[in-house]
Amino acid sequence: MPPRHLITFADLSSAEFRALIRRAIELKHLKGLYEPLKNKVLGMLFEKSSTRTRISFEAGMAQFGGSAIFLSPRDTQLGRGEPIEDSARVISRMVDGIMLRTHTHRTVEIFAKHSRVPVINGLTDRFHPCQLLADIQTYFEHRGDIAGRTVAWIGDGNNMCQSYIEAAELLDFKLSIACPEGYEPESALLEKAGARVELLRDPADAVRGADLIVTDVWASMGQEEEQATRESAFRGYQVNANLMALAAKDALFMHCLPAHRGEEVSAEVLEGPQSVVWDEAENRLHSQKALLEFLLAEESPVRAASLSS
Ligand code: CP
Ligand code: NVA
């Protein structure tokens, strides 16, 4: 049987997504030694920088009794042109799982196709599913189930936005996206999502009455040279106190981080009482431990639940 992967949310059922969130919350509060990945090894290949993703996966593996190897194109043969297909075949004969952060999404797809072991998408140009696991866990912890709620996405129709679109379908929430012309998410994803996801221009329209406000940087990794153009395109898309005032009274604010205060979010909102960004960052660890257990451990409560349902 081919291994299970998490490349996009097309790889998870609704029930599995929910079970992962429940398990992440359980693991967060678990006391004592629990080592379901004893002696297992996770390979982590990073083509781009990372603080949260690297540390949470590495710490998660260590806490579970296993270990992680940090790999970069600079110091592997991948950087000298060894084909992805060959690298996937070789690396996956030596480790138990592989996490990749790559420029193009296609790289992760090709890697997974040739891997003997589970592959996890740690961010590509198109999706960032691991961050969504943490965001949804954070929403559940602060406000309960997200089904039926409204999320407002303000800014770039980027990898984070696109994972929100996929999550909206699986978890049954409404997503109102406000982005400037030319910065929309892929139209195929919008079409697939149907009426659940709406595309607007005015951030005020998206935020009005929303339960969760989310934004991200205006220029993602790899788009640094577009910074100036994007700053002018996204003027008016800052999440600040005026915008937050239009949301539901108990609305939360999230940002995957790193954040640029004074650009996509004001310092006041980022540090304010509605912001849960530090819990959100911490939950990368807990939700990915649930994911690692699901994909790599001999036994997983999430797998057991999805088999019996
Ligand atoms: N949010 C996130 O993925 O952070 P890093 O780039 O630090 O991993
Ligand atoms: N959209 C951002 C997310 C960083 C975690 C980027 O791709 O750089």
Q: How big is the CA angle at 124 (ends 69 and 93), to the nearest 5 degrees?
A: 35
Q: Please tell me whether residues 72 and 95 are part of one structural domain.
A: yes
Q: Over 80: is that where the pLDDT of 191 sits?
A: yes
**Separation of CA 41 and ligand 2 centre (Å):** 26
Check if 106 is active-site.
no
Q: Please tell me whether residues 67 and 89 are part of one structural domain.
A: yes
- 9 burial type by CB count under 10 A (0-12 exposed, 13-18 middle, 19+ buried): buried
Q: Of 130, 161, 179, 256, which is the active-site residue?
A: 256
**Separation of CA 259 and ligand 2 centre (Å):** 10
Task: Report the CATH number that the domain containing residue 173 is assigned in CATH.
Answer: 3.40.50.1370
Q: With bands split at pLDDT 50, 70 and 90, how would you rate the model's confidence at 174?
A: very high
For residue 176, tell me if it sits in a domain. yes
Q: Over 90: is that where the pLDDT of 309 sits?
A: no
Q: Of 5, 52, 126, 128, which is the active-site residue?
A: 128
Among the residue ranges 75-84, 96-105, 109-118, 274-283, the one predicted with the least confidence is 75-84
Q: With bands split at pLDDT 50, 70 and 90, how would you rate the model's confidence at 106?
A: very high
SS3 content of the chain, % helix, strand, coil (to 5): 45, 15, 40
Q: Please tell me whether residues 43 and 76 are part of one structural domain.
A: yes
Q: Please tell me whether residues 176 and 242 are part of one structural domain.
A: yes
- Residue 304 has a pLDDT of 87
| Domain span including residue 210 | 131-280
For residue 4, tell me if it sits in a domain. no
Q: Please tell me whether residues 73 and 30 are part of one structural domain.
A: yes
pLDDT tens digits, residue range 38-51? 999 999 999 999 99
**Separation of CA 153 and ligand 2 centre (Å):** 14
For residue 97, tell me if it sits in a domain. yes
Q: How far apart are CA 191 and CA 6, in angstroms?
A: 22
Residue 227 and residue 219 in contact, taking contact as beta carbons nearer than 8 Å: yes
Q: Please tell me whether residues 108 and 249 are part of one structural domain.
A: no
Q: Please tell me whether residues 153 and 118 are part of one structural domain.
A: no
Check if 256 is active-site.
yes
Provide, rounded to the nearest whole percent, the portion of the chain with pLDDT above 70: 100
**What integer is the mean pLDDT of 226-232?**
98
Provide, rounded to the nearest whole percent, the portion of the chain with pLDDT above 90: 97
Q: Whose CA is nearest to atom 6 of ligand 2?
A: 220
* Strands of the chain, DSSP E: 41-46, 67-71, 97-101, 119-121, 150-154, 174-178, 197-200, 212-215, 252-255
* Strands of 30-95, DSSP E: 41-46, 67-71
For residue 119, tell me if it sits in a domain. yes
Ligand 2 atom showing the smallest separation from residue 256 Cα? 5
Conformational region of residue 144, where left means phi above 0, alpha means psi within -120 to 50, and beta covers everything else: left
- Residue 305 has a pLDDT of 84
- Does 101 sit in the ligand 1 pocket, CB within 6 Å? no
Q: With bands split at pLDDT 50, 70 and 90, how would you rate the model's confidence at 269?
A: very high
- Residue 306 has a pLDDT of 76
- What ligand has the least distance to the C-alpha of 153? 2
Conformational region of residue 190, where left means phi above 0, alpha means psi within -120 to 50, and beta covers everything else: alpha
Report the number of distinct structural domains present in the chain.
2
- Residue 14 has a pLDDT of 97
Stated pTM of the model? 0.98
Q: Over 90: is that where the pLDDT of 28 sits?
A: yes
Q: How far apart are CA 58 and CA 28, in angstroms?
A: 16
Q: Please tell me whether residues 96 and 183 are part of one structural domain.
A: no
**What integer is the mean pLDDT of 101-108?**
98
**What integer is the mean pLDDT of 268-279?**
98
**What integer is the mean pLDDT of 223-229?**
97
For residue 1, tell me if it sits in a domain. no
Ligand 2 atom showing the smallest separation from residue 159 Cα? 1
Q: What is the three-class DSSP state of 220?
A: coil
Q: Of 52, 125, 131, 230, which is the active-site residue?
A: 131
Q: How far apart are CA 161 and CA 269, in angstroms?
A: 20
pLDDT tens digits, residue range 132-173? 999 999 999 999 999 999 999 999 999 999 999 999 999 999
Q: Please tell me whether residues 259 and 293 are part of one structural domain.
A: no
**Separation of CA 164 and ligand 1 centre (Å):** 16
- Bridge-based pairing of strands 119-121 and 97-101 is parallel
Q: How high does pLDDT run on average in the chain? A: 97
Q: Please tell me whether residues 17 and 123 are part of one structural domain.
A: yes
For residue 306, tell me if it sits in a domain. no
For residue 42, tell me if it sits in a domain. yes
Check if 216 is active-site.
yes
Residues 6+ apart with CB under 8 A from 239: 154, 203, 213, 215, 253, 264, 265, 266, 269
Q: Please tell me whether residues 288 and 247 are part of one structural domain.
A: no
Residue showing tokens 């960004």: 277
Q: With bands split at pLDDT 50, 70 and 90, how would you rate the model's confidence at 284?
A: very high
Q: Please tell me whether residues 272 and 164 are part of one structural domain.
A: yes
